[in-house]
Structure 1
C-alpha cells in the first residue's frame, strides 16, 4: 500500500518550525514558573500570593513580578495556544470541518487527562486541563469569520474587566490544603474539586487571548514577522506599556509602597491588573517575534536552547510541577514558610534553566519531548518523519 499524495498533514518537523512562536513559548515558561511558585508561600499576612513581612529586596522583587509577570504570562500562553491551533487547522485544510474538530478534540482530551493527573498528584493550579476544555469549545470556532472571532474576543475581554472580588492579584488568602496538603488523602480529597473548578471555569478568562491567537495564526503573524513589523511594533509598545501602567495600583500595594484601599476599590483594581495583563501578554509575544526576525539565521546556543524548550513546552511545563511538589508539600521538604519572595524567584528561575538544559539535550539527541510525542500520537495517529500517516 502506498501513501496518498493527499494524505492529511501531521505534525511539523522540527527543522520546518518558525523561530518566533517557539522562542515565545520557551521564554514564556520562565514567567509561568515565577507566576506559579509564589502562591505556595505562606506567612501570617499574604496578599495576592505574596507574604507581606519580607525584606526590602522581597518588596522590590514582588513589584517586578506583579508588574511584569503576574496576569501577563498566562495570556501569552493562551495567545500561543490559539496560534498553535490555527497552525493545525491550516495544515488540515483538505479535511472536512467535522474531521478537524475530531482531531482537535483528541488533542483536547490528552490535555484534560494529563492536566487533571498533574493537578491531583503535583500542582493543583495546573492549566493544561483548562486549555483542554477551552479547546473542546474552541474547536467549534476555528472556522468562524474574523469579524465574529474578534467580536467574541472583545466580549470576553469586557467580562474579565468587570469589577470583581475574585482576582488572584488581590486575594488576601494564603495557600490552602489543596496547595499544601498535610497528607496524601487530604491532597486527593481537596484537589479533586479544585482541579475540576479550574478546568471548568478557567476557560472564561482565557477565551480572549485564545481567539486572538487563532486570528493571528491565520495570518502567520508570529511566523512571518518581517511582513507584520508595524503591527508587531505597535502591539509591543502599546501592550507592554498599558500592562505596566495598569499593574501599578496593585503592584505598589503588594510591594508595600501604598496601603490597601477599601474593598470596593480593590474590586476595580484586581480586574484592571488582569485585563491590562492580557494586552501585556500580546505585547510580549510581539517583542519575541521581532527578536526572532532580527536574529534570522544568526542563532546562538542560548537561542537554540530556548527555542528547543518552546518546541517541548508541554514537557518542560510539566517538569516544573514535581519541583513545586517536592519543595513545598508539607509531608516532603515543606519550605513554603522558610522561603521568601526573592529566594522563591531564584528557585523558579533555576527550575526554568534546568528545563532549558533538558530540552536542549533532547534537541541535540534528535528527540521530541515525551508529552509532545504522546499528544502527537493521540492526535494524528502513527506518522512518519514527514508527518504523513504510515500505511497500516
Structure 2
C-alpha cells in the first residue's frame, strides 16, 4: 500500500494559543537580548548601573517579567510542537519519526550556527537543534519518564551555582561587540558551539513538559483543561514574580549587592522560578485564546501571524541588533540606555508584527519557516 507523505500543518489548521504565545513572547525575547549590548558603564547582570530612576524602573520590569521567563516558554512550545509532529505521524514507525525530527534538527543547527557567527553570539536555534536531536529518542517515552526527566533538570537548574552577577566595568566581550568582521567570526566560532551544546541543559525541563502537554493537546483544549491551565497561569506567573525579586531589586539598585554566597543562591532561584513563569505564560495564552474564540481582531491576528513566523522574526531582531550595536556599523552601545534600548526592542518587535501580518495577508510563510519545512519534509511546496 502507498505510504502517506509527511506534510506540515497548514496555516489555516493551526491552533491560536501556541502562535499567540510565540508572537507575544518575541517581544520579551527582544527585551531580554538587547540590553546585554550596552557598554561604557558599570554593569551588574547585564544592566548599566548609572542610569536614571526611570532606567531603574525599566530594569526592574524586565528582570521581573522577562529575563529567564520567555526562553522557557519557547522551550515548552518547542516540545509541544514536536509532540504534534509525532502525533500526526502516528502511523509511521519510530525510525521514520526520528529521521523526520533529525532533518529538522539539522536545519536548526545549520541556521543557528550561521546566525551565531554572523549576527548574534547568543543564538539559541542551534541549541534547539541539538535538543531535538537528543529529544528524538524521547518522543515515545512513557509519561512518567518525561515528567521525571523534567523534574530532574528543574532541580538541576535550581542548584546553587557560580557567581554570574558580579559588578564589572568591562564592556561586552568581542563576541558580542566585535571590533571588526574577522574578530567577530573568530570569537563567535569559539562560543557558538558551547552555547549549542550546553543550551539544551536549560531547555530540557520545559521541552519534556511540552512533549507531555502536546500529547494531550492541552493548549488547544482550554475548555477541557481549564482548571489545570488556570492553576498553571496563576501559580507559575506568581512564583516567577516573587522568585525574581531578590535579583530584580538588586539590579534596579533598590537593595545593595549581597555577598557572593548569597548571589549563588538568588541567581538559581531567579532561573528556576523563571521556568515556572514560562509555563504560566503559555497557560495564560491558552486561556486568552479561549476567551477570544472567533472574535479575533487585527491585532490578535497580527500577533498570531508573528508566532507562525517566529524563527524569521527572531532572526530579523538580530539583524537590528547587529546594525545598531556592532562597533564597525552604527556603534550605539554606549549611547543608548536601558530605557531607550527597551523602546528599540518594542519598535523592532512591532515592525516584525507588521511584516508578519503583511505576509499572512498574502498567504506566505516566513522565509526561514519555508526553508526548515523543505529540509524536514523534503517537499518543494510547504
TM-score by length of 2: 0.98
Residue 172 of structure 2 is aligned to residue 175 of structure 1:
yes
Q: 2:48: which partner in 1?
A: 51
- 1:79-133: CA deviation from partner (whole Å, max 9, x where unpaired): 0111010010001111110110111010011000000101110101010001000
Is 2:149 aligned against 1:152? yes
Residue 63 of structure 2 corresponds to which residue in structure 1?
Answer: 66
**SS of the counterpart of 1:181?**
coil
- CA distance, structure 1, for counterparts of residue 52 and residue 181 of structure 2: 34
Give yes or no for contact 1:39–1:50 (8 Å, CA) kept in 2.
yes
Choose the corresponding residue for 2:223, options 223, 226, 234: 226
Other-structure match for 1:88: 85
Count of residue pairs brought into register by the alignment: 380
Task: Note closer, same or farther for the CA distance 1:123–1:314 as it changes in structure 2 (3 Å cut).
Answer: same
Residue of structure 2 equivalent to 1:389: none
Shift of 1:171: 5.2
Q: Which 5+ residue runs of structure 2 have no aligned equivalent?
A: none
Shift of 1:175: 1.3
Q: Which residue of 1 aligns with 2:355?
A: 358
CA distance in 2, matches of 1:15, 1:259: 52
The answer to whether 1:341 aligns with 2:355 is no
* Long gaps (5+) in structure 1: 386-392
Deviation at 1:384, TM superposition (A): 5.6
* Distance (whole Å) between structure 2 residues aligned to residue 212 and residue 102 of structure 1: 22
- Does residue 243 of structure 2 align to residue 257 of structure 1? no
TM-score by length of 1: 0.95
1:80-119 aligned within 5 A: 80-119=77-116
Shift of 1:10: 1.0
Distance 1:172 1:207 in 2: 30
Secondary structure at the aligned position of 1:225 is classed as coil
Q: 1:166 to 1:127 in 2, by over 3 A?
A: farther
Instruction: Kindly report structure 1 stretches of 4+ aligned residues shifted beyond 2 Å.
Output: 170-174
Residue 388 (structure 1) aligns with: none
Cα distance in 1 between the residues matched to 2:345 and 2:177: 18
CA shift digits 1:176-209 (9 cap, x unpaired) = 1000000011101110111111001111111000
Cα distance in 1, alignment partners of residues 299 and 377 from structure 2: 31
Q: Are the aligned partners of 1:75 and 1:281 in contact in 2 as well (CA < 8 Å)?
A: yes
Determine the structure 1 residue equivalent to 2:243: 246
The 1:171/1:29 distance shift into structure 2, 3 A limit, reads farther
Local SS of the residue matching 1:330: coil
Residues 49 and 171 of structure 1 are in contact (CA less than 8 Å); yes or no, is this contact kept in structure 2?
no
In the alignment, the residues of structure 2 paired with residue 197 and residue 177 of structure 1 have an alpha-carbon distance, to the nearest angstrom, of: 16
Does structure 2 conserve the Cα–Cα contact (< 8 Å) formed by 1:10 and 1:383?
no
* Contact persistence 2:121–2:188 (CA under 8 A): yes
Is the Cα–Cα contact under 8 Å of residues 124 and 195 in structure 2 kept in the other structure? Answer: yes
Q: Give the 3-state SS of the residue equivalent to 1:210 in structure 2.
A: helix
Question: Of 308, 322, 343, which residue of structure 1 is paired with 2:319?
Answer: 322
Following the alignment from structure 2 to structure 1, what is the Cα–Cα distance between the partners of residues 36 and 380? 41
Equivalents in 2 of 1:122, 1:215: separation in Å? 34
Q: For the Cα contact (< 8 Å) 1:111–1:128, is it kept in 2?
A: yes
**Shift in alpha-carbon separation, 1:327–1:212, aligned structure 2, 3 A:** same
